[in-house]
Amino acid sequence: MSGRFFYKYRGIIALPAFLLLLYFSKPESRQVLSHILIICGLLIRFWASGYIGEKARTKKLKAEYRISNGPYGILRHPLYIGNFFLVSGTVLLYNPPLWFKIIIIAIFLIEYTIIIIAEETHLKKIPVRRLKFSFRSVKSEIQTFLLMVVIYLIYFWVLRRI
Protein backbone atom coordinates (compact mmCIF):
# COMPACT_ATOMS: atom_id res chain seq x y z
CA MET A 1 0.00 0.00 0.00
CA SER A 2 1.21 3.48 -0.75
CA GLY A 3 1.93 6.33 1.59
CA ARG A 4 -0.92 8.27 -0.01
CA PHE A 5 -3.38 5.57 1.10
CA PHE A 6 -2.16 5.78 4.71
CA TYR A 7 -2.15 9.59 4.55
CA LYS A 8 -5.74 9.67 3.30
CA TYR A 9 -7.09 7.15 5.83
CA ARG A 10 -4.78 7.92 8.79
CA GLY A 11 -7.69 8.85 11.06
CA ILE A 12 -9.82 5.85 10.18
CA ILE A 13 -6.97 3.35 10.60
CA ALA A 14 -6.78 4.19 14.32
CA LEU A 15 -10.41 3.23 15.08
CA PRO A 16 -10.01 -0.59 15.05
CA ALA A 17 -6.87 -0.26 17.17
CA PHE A 18 -8.76 1.87 19.71
CA LEU A 19 -11.64 -0.63 19.85
CA LEU A 20 -9.17 -3.44 20.53
CA LEU A 21 -7.50 -1.23 23.13
CA LEU A 22 -10.86 -0.92 24.88
CA TYR A 23 -11.32 -4.68 24.79
CA PHE A 24 -7.92 -5.37 26.38
CA SER A 25 -7.95 -2.39 28.77
CA LYS A 26 -7.25 -2.66 32.48
CA PRO A 27 -7.23 1.01 33.44
CA GLU A 28 -5.97 2.20 36.80
CA SER A 29 -7.01 5.41 38.48
CA ARG A 30 -3.42 6.68 38.80
CA GLN A 31 -1.85 7.11 35.39
CA VAL A 32 0.21 10.30 35.76
CA LEU A 33 2.59 9.59 32.86
CA SER A 34 -0.30 8.95 30.47
CA HIS A 35 -1.87 12.31 31.34
CA ILE A 36 1.46 14.10 30.87
CA LEU A 37 1.96 12.48 27.44
CA ILE A 38 -1.58 13.36 26.35
CA ILE A 39 -1.23 16.98 27.48
CA CYS A 40 2.16 17.27 25.73
CA GLY A 41 0.66 15.75 22.56
CA LEU A 42 -2.20 18.24 22.59
CA LEU A 43 0.12 21.20 23.23
CA ILE A 44 2.47 20.17 20.40
CA ARG A 45 -0.48 19.75 18.04
CA PHE A 46 -1.96 23.14 19.05
CA TRP A 47 1.41 24.84 18.53
CA ALA A 48 1.97 23.21 15.12
CA SER A 49 -1.61 23.91 14.06
CA GLY A 50 -1.09 27.58 14.80
CA TYR A 51 1.24 27.54 11.79
CA ILE A 52 -0.29 24.97 9.45
CA GLY A 53 -4.03 25.29 10.26
CA GLU A 54 -6.66 23.46 8.23
CA LYS A 55 -4.07 22.17 5.77
CA ALA A 56 -3.24 19.45 8.30
CA ARG A 57 -6.73 17.97 7.89
CA THR A 58 -6.63 17.33 4.15
CA LYS A 59 -6.89 13.84 2.70
CA LYS A 60 -4.43 14.48 -0.13
CA LEU A 61 -0.75 15.41 -0.20
CA LYS A 62 -1.12 18.83 -1.77
CA ALA A 63 0.85 21.34 0.31
CA GLU A 64 1.91 24.41 -1.68
CA TYR A 65 4.87 25.26 0.57
CA ARG A 66 6.95 23.86 3.41
CA ILE A 67 6.85 25.74 6.73
CA SER A 68 10.30 26.47 8.15
CA ASN A 69 9.65 28.23 11.46
CA GLY A 70 7.85 27.66 14.77
CA PRO A 71 7.72 23.96 15.61
CA TYR A 72 8.52 23.19 11.96
CA GLY A 73 11.89 24.89 12.44
CA ILE A 74 12.66 22.42 15.26
CA LEU A 75 10.88 19.25 14.14
CA ARG A 76 10.16 18.15 10.60
CA HIS A 77 6.75 16.65 11.48
CA PRO A 78 5.54 18.15 14.78
CA LEU A 79 1.92 17.06 14.26
CA TYR A 80 3.05 13.45 14.02
CA ILE A 81 5.21 13.82 17.14
CA GLY A 82 2.10 15.20 18.88
CA ASN A 83 0.13 12.20 17.61
CA PHE A 84 2.80 9.85 18.96
CA PHE A 85 2.46 11.41 22.42
CA LEU A 86 -1.35 11.18 22.19
CA VAL A 87 -1.27 7.52 21.15
CA SER A 88 1.38 6.59 23.73
CA GLY A 89 -0.53 8.41 26.48
CA THR A 90 -3.81 6.78 25.50
CA VAL A 91 -2.23 3.32 25.43
CA LEU A 92 -0.77 3.88 28.91
CA LEU A 93 -4.09 5.30 30.12
CA TYR A 94 -6.03 2.19 29.10
CA ASN A 95 -3.23 -0.11 30.32
CA PRO A 96 -3.65 -3.16 28.02
CA PRO A 97 -1.26 -6.13 28.26
CA LEU A 98 2.36 -5.35 27.34
CA TRP A 99 2.20 -7.31 24.06
CA PHE A 100 -0.75 -5.19 22.92
CA LYS A 101 1.02 -1.95 23.89
CA ILE A 102 3.94 -3.03 21.70
CA ILE A 103 1.62 -3.90 18.78
CA ILE A 104 -0.19 -0.52 18.93
CA ILE A 105 3.06 1.47 19.05
CA ALA A 106 4.57 -0.66 16.25
CA ILE A 107 1.50 -0.13 14.02
CA PHE A 108 1.69 3.62 14.68
CA LEU A 109 5.40 3.76 13.84
CA ILE A 110 4.96 1.72 10.64
CA GLU A 111 1.92 3.75 9.49
CA TYR A 112 3.53 7.12 10.13
CA THR A 113 6.88 6.09 8.66
CA ILE A 114 5.06 5.25 5.42
CA ILE A 115 3.17 8.57 5.57
CA ILE A 116 6.36 10.55 6.26
CA ILE A 117 8.19 8.94 3.33
CA ALA A 118 5.32 9.88 0.99
CA GLU A 119 5.12 13.37 2.46
CA GLU A 120 8.88 13.94 2.19
CA THR A 121 8.78 13.04 -1.51
CA HIS A 122 6.15 15.75 -1.99
CA LEU A 123 7.79 18.35 0.29
CA LYS A 124 11.11 18.19 -1.57
CA LYS A 125 9.40 19.63 -4.66
CA ILE A 126 7.81 22.73 -3.09
CA PRO A 127 9.18 26.09 -1.85
CA VAL A 128 9.86 26.96 1.79
CA ARG A 129 7.89 29.67 3.56
CA ARG A 130 7.99 31.30 7.02
CA LEU A 131 4.55 31.83 8.58
CA LYS A 132 3.24 33.58 11.68
CA PHE A 133 1.41 31.78 14.45
CA SER A 134 -2.35 32.31 14.24
CA PHE A 135 -4.87 31.45 16.95
CA ARG A 136 -7.48 31.14 14.18
CA SER A 137 -5.48 28.27 12.75
CA VAL A 138 -5.60 26.45 16.09
CA LYS A 139 -9.36 25.97 15.67
CA SER A 140 -8.56 23.03 13.37
CA GLU A 141 -7.45 21.21 16.54
CA ILE A 142 -10.92 21.32 18.10
CA GLN A 143 -11.52 17.94 16.47
CA THR A 144 -8.43 16.46 18.18
CA PHE A 145 -9.40 18.00 21.51
CA LEU A 146 -12.96 16.63 21.29
CA LEU A 147 -11.63 13.19 20.36
CA MET A 148 -9.45 13.22 23.48
CA VAL A 149 -12.48 14.27 25.58
CA VAL A 150 -14.37 11.23 24.23
CA ILE A 151 -11.38 8.97 24.96
CA TYR A 152 -11.32 10.26 28.56
CA LEU A 153 -15.08 9.87 28.97
CA ILE A 154 -14.83 6.26 27.81
CA TYR A 155 -11.84 5.75 30.12
CA PHE A 156 -13.77 7.04 33.16
CA TRP A 157 -16.80 4.93 32.20
CA VAL A 158 -14.63 1.79 31.93
CA LEU A 159 -12.81 2.67 35.18
CA ARG A 160 -16.13 3.09 36.99
CA ARG A 161 -17.32 -0.34 35.86
CA ILE A 162 -14.26 -2.12 37.28
Q: What pLDDT is attached to residue 1?
A: 60
Task: Report long-range pairs for 46-51 (Cβ below 8 Å, ≥24 apart).
Answer: 46/138, 46/141, 47/71, 47/78, 47/133, 48/72, 48/78, 48/79, 48/82, 49/79, 49/137, 49/138, 49/140, 49/141, 50/133, 50/134, 50/135, 50/137, 50/138, 51/131, 51/132, 51/133, 51/134, 51/137
> How do residues 128-148 score in pLDDT, each as one tens digit?
888 888 877 787 788 888 888
If you average pLDDT over residues 117-121, what whole number do you get?
A: 90
Tell me the sheet residues that pair with 119: none
> How do residues 9-63 score in pLDDT, each as one tens digit?
777 777 788 888 878 888 776 678 999 999 999 999 999 988 887 776 777 777 7
User: What is the number of alpha carbons within 13 Å of residue 3 lying toward its C-beta?
Assistant: 13
Q: What pLDDT is attached to residue 71?
A: 94
